[in-house]
Structures are given as structure tokens and as C-alpha cells.
């Protein structure tokens, strides 16, 4: 009898322990009334405007999903951390979101350098990571050409953007020579410069000068004077709005009147405050969409964003909104909040209607989509051209 009683007791205790273990591992997630999504954004620091614009786009997408009944019958709980526009802080932020907040997916930072700093942590924990704005090719494909299984994006990549501006320079502007002025502290800037140069030379153009600066520099006149001395047809400046605004202003003060070309890093109202409206005339940059585009889906998004925030959405806000739609769509199709299943669903994203068009991910986890060239006129953006992939 004693042996039977001990056996029964052991079985009962074992069953209780097993039940506790199962509840500890997955019961909380399964029984949760919400879906925790993490957001790792530049809310302060030198790219805070970008971070907040992108965050607003995601917030709108998730608000619409929650208002429509949620996802899988649950509300999205969007937990946001500030990476202070620094790679080390971006690493701290994603670690907290995954290990403490227990999110099932992470929205990556805005800038490529900050995204790159977070990739290994997402991979180690097997949590899908999506950036709406990080355009560096290495975000989704490593140096060995291997696709990063847990990294995705909703924006086009630097080779496409750099090629667009090289083609615009040689074909639309008939430029024969170009100078390239890059931010040497930015992976984003260096990557774009590389692809612009390759495409510009392939088109028969000649790069006559290459100069560099660093983020937070204030005086650019010495290097701009060097560029002016070689008399290029255009200057390509793939950098972020804060420094670009100062460069544009100082270049015009030096009497440089040629076209200044850039990329989506220019897309912020502050560039006009820093540079001055007149200085930006004859300035052109590639972007992900234009609010002036008459596409009904774009106009629907613009109206919703203006109602929510009282202003026109930037391209970064549109990309954030698209990224939010991607996450909602993936969880819906996965039918689960299991990170592995969300990852699989993201990888299979196809013909998804988002604000900027129809989005399909290629085998490298990059979207196939259109781009536009924006012209600056008296401090305002004007739609110039649309380029299809």
C-alpha cells in the first residue's frame, strides 16, 4: 500500500509540475488578451523627427486594426522604446522589448546603422524584425549573401534608390560629371554613394570628386569649396535632413547653383528650416511616395493621417503605416502569435495593398515597389517623376 501511495503521489506531483512548466512557457502568451508588438524608434537624438514620423504611421495602422476588432480577436499592444538615435541604445532597446516585455515581433529602428546593431539579437531570440525605413542591403542579406531569416522591410533598398538618382542625373538632367558628398559615419550614406557611383559611371558619367563629413558637423565650406573647384554638373548628397540642410545652405552661400541630388533622408520639414526655402530650389531627391500622387489608396491614407495628426504624412510615415499593415496581415495569415509562424507569414507576403502601392516581398525579404523623384520648389515638395522597379 505504501509503495502504491508513493507512486500515486509522485505521479500527481509530476503532473502538477509539468502543468506549471507548460503554463510558464506558453500559457501566458496563449491566454493573453493582447498581442505585444515592440517598437524600437529614434524618439530623441539627431534623427528624432524621422523616428516620430515613422512611429506615427505604425500607430495609425495598429489603431485601425484594433478599431476593426483587433487581430485574431485580440488587441495589439504596441510597446515603444527610445533608442536615442544611437546604435548602442538600439541594442539596449531591442533586448528590453524581447526579454522583459516579451513581444512577439519587433519594429526595427529607422536608420540603417541602428537596424544593423539589432539584427543579431532578434536572430538569437528568433523574433521577427521588420524595418520600415532601413534601406541598407545588409539588413536582410549578410556579407556572405545569406538571407537573414528573421529580418524584413517595407521599403526599397539602397541599390534601387542609388540607381534611380544616377539615372535621373544622367537621363533627365543630362549630367556628365558628378561630385559625391557623403556622411562617413553612416552606413546608409556610404551604401547609397557606392550604388550611385556605380550606376552613374555605367551610364557614361564621370565622378570628379568624392568628399566626406561626419554627423553633427557644422561647417562644410572647406570641402564644398573643393567640390566647387572641379565644377561638377551635379552634387549627390545621400544623408539625413539635419546635415543636408546645413550643406545646402552653405553651398548656396558659396555660389554653388548646380542641382543638388539626394535620397529619402532629405524628407523632413526641418530641412527647409535649416537650409532656407530658396536654397533648396534646384534640389531633387528620391522617395517612397508622394502625397500629391492621385492613387486612391494613397489619398485614403493621406486623409486618415491628416485626420489623426493634423498634417500631411511624410514618406516615412507612409512606410511606417505600410509596415504596420504588413505585421497585421502576417499575424492574420499565420493564425497565431507564435513568432516562428509570424516569420513564415511575413516571408510569404504577396500582393498586399498598402498606402504606397501593391507590395510583394522578394526572396531576399525586400519589397518590389515603385519610387518617385521629388523636386523642391520654394520650400515645398513637388512630384517630379515616378519610377517603377
> Is 262:283 a contact under the CB 8 Å cutoff?
yes
Instruction: Name, in order, each residue with C-beta under 8 angstroms of 15's C-beta and a sequence gap of 6 or more.
Output: none
CATH superfamily of this structure's domain 35-156+294-370: Response regulator (3.40.50.2300)
269: Cα within 13 Å, side-chain hemisphere: 8
User: The domain at 159-287 falls in which architecture?
Assistant: 3-Layer(aba) Sandwich (3.40)
Give the separation between CA 210 and CA 207, rounded to whole angstroms: 8
pLDDT of residue 156: 87
Q: How confident is the model at residue 313 (pLDDT cuts 50, 70, 90)?
A: very high
Q: What confidence tens digit (pLDDT) does each residue in 38-92 have?
A: 999 999 999 999 999 999 999 999 999 999 999 999 999 999 999 999 999 999 9
| Average pLDDT over all residues of the chain | 90
Q: How confident is the model at residue 14 (pLDDT cuts 50, 70, 90)?
A: very low
pLDDT of residue 6: 41
The DSSP H or E segment spanning 212 is strand 206-213
Q: How confident is the model at residue 389 (pLDDT cuts 50, 70, 90)?
A: low
Tell me the sheet residues that pair with 360: 368
Higher pLDDT, 26 or 8: 8
Closest CA to 142 of 120, 109, 158: 120
Percent of the chain with pLDDT over 90: 79
Q: What is the pTM of this model?
A: 0.76
pLDDT at residue 369 above 90? no
Residue 33 has what DSSP assignment?
Answer: S
Q: What confidence tens digit (pLDDT) does each residue in 191-241 have?
A: 999 999 999 999 999 999 999 999 889 999 999 999 999 999 999 999 999
CATH 3.40.50.2300 residue ranges of the chain are 35-156+294-370, 159-287
Give the separation between CA 262 and CA 191, rounded to whole angstroms: 13
Q: What confidence tens digit (pLDDT) does each residue in 18-42 have?
A: 333 333 333 334 457 899 999 999 9
Cα Rg of the chain (Å, integer): 24
Q: What confidence tens digit (pLDDT) does each residue in 256-299 have?
A: 999 999 998 998 889 999 999 999 999 999 998 888 888 888 89
Give the separation between CA 389 and CA 379, rounded to whole angstroms: 29
**Maximal C-alpha separation, the chain:** 101
Instruction: Name, in order, each residue with C-beta under 8 angstroms of 329's C-beta and a sequence gap of 6 or more.
Output: 345, 349, 352
User: What SS3 state is found at 13?
Assistant: helix
Cα–Cα distance list, 389 to 13, 112, 160, 284, 318 (Å): 62, 21, 8, 19, 19
Q: What confidence tens digit (pLDDT) does each residue in 228-255 have?
A: 999 999 999 999 999 999 999 999 999 9
Q: What confidence tens digit (pLDDT) does each residue in 154-188 have?
A: 998 888 899 999 999 999 999 999 999 999 999 88
Amino acid at each position: 500500500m505504501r509503495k502504491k501511495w508513493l507512486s500515486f503521489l509522485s505521479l500527481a506531483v509530476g503532473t502538477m509540475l509539468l502543468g506549471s512548466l507548460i503554463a510558464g512557457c506558453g500559457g501566458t502568451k496563449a491566454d493573453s488578451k493582447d498581442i505585444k508588438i515592440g517598437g524600437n524608434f529614434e524618439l530623441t537624438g539627431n534623427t528624432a523627427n524621422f523616428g516620430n514620423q515613422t512611429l506615427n504611421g505604425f500607430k495609425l495602422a495598429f489603431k485601425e486594426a484594433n478599431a476593426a476588432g483587433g487581430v485574431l480577436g485580440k488587441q495589439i499592444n504596441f510597446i515603444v522604446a527610445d533608442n536615442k538615435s544611437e546604435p548602442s541604445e538600439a541594442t539596449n532597446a531591442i533586448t528590453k522589448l524581447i526579454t522583459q516585455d516579451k513581444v512577439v515581433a519587433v519594429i526595427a529602428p529607422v536608420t540603417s546603422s541602428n537596424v544593423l546593431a539589432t539584427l543579431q539579437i532578434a536572430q538569437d531570440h528568433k523574433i521577427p524584425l521588420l524595418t520600415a525605413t532601413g534601406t541598407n542591403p545588409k539588413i536582410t542579406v549578410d556579407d556572405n549573401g545569406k538571407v537573414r531569416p528573421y529580418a524584413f522591410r517595407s521599403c526599397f533598398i539602397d541599390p534601387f534608390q542609388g540607381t534611380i538618382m544616377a539615372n535621373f542625373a544622367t537621363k533627365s538632367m543630362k549630367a556628365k560629371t558628378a561630385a559625391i558628398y557623403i556622411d562617413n559615419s553612416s552606413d546608409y550614406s556610404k551604401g547609397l554613394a557606392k550604388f550611385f557611383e556605380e550606376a552613374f559611371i555605367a551610364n557614361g558619367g564621370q565622378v570628379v570628386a568624392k568628399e566626406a563629413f561626419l554627423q553633427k558637423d557644422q561647417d562644410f565650406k572647406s570641402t564644398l569649396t573643393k567640390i566647387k573647384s572641379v565644377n561638377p554638373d551635379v552634387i549627390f548628397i545621400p544623408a539625413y535632413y539635419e546635415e543636408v540642410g546645413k550643406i545646402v545652405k552653405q553651398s548656396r552661400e558659396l555660389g554653388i547653383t548646380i542641382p543638388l541630388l539626394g535620397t529619402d533622408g532629405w524628407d523632413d520639414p526641418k530641412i527647409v528650416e535649416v537650409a532656407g526655402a530658396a536654397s533648396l530650389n534646384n534640389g531633387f531627391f528620391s522617395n517612397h511616395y508622394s502625397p500629391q500622387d492621385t492613387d486612391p489608396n494613397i489619398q485614403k491614407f493621406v486623409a486618415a493621417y491628416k485626420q489623426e495628426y493634423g498634417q500631411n504624412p511624410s514618406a516615412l510615415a507612409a512606410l511606417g503605416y505600410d509596415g504596420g499593415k504588413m505585421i497585421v496581415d502576417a499575424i492574420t495569415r499565420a493564425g497565431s502569435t507564435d513568432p516562428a509562424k509570424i516569420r513564415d507569414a511575413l516571408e510569404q507576403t504577396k500582393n498586399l495593398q498598402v498606402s504606397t502601392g501593391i507590395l510583394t516581398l522578394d526572396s531576399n525579404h525586400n519589397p518590389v515597389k515603385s519610387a518617385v523623384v521629388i523636386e523642391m520648389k520654394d520650400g515645398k515638395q513637388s512630384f517630379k517623376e515616378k519610377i517603377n522597379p
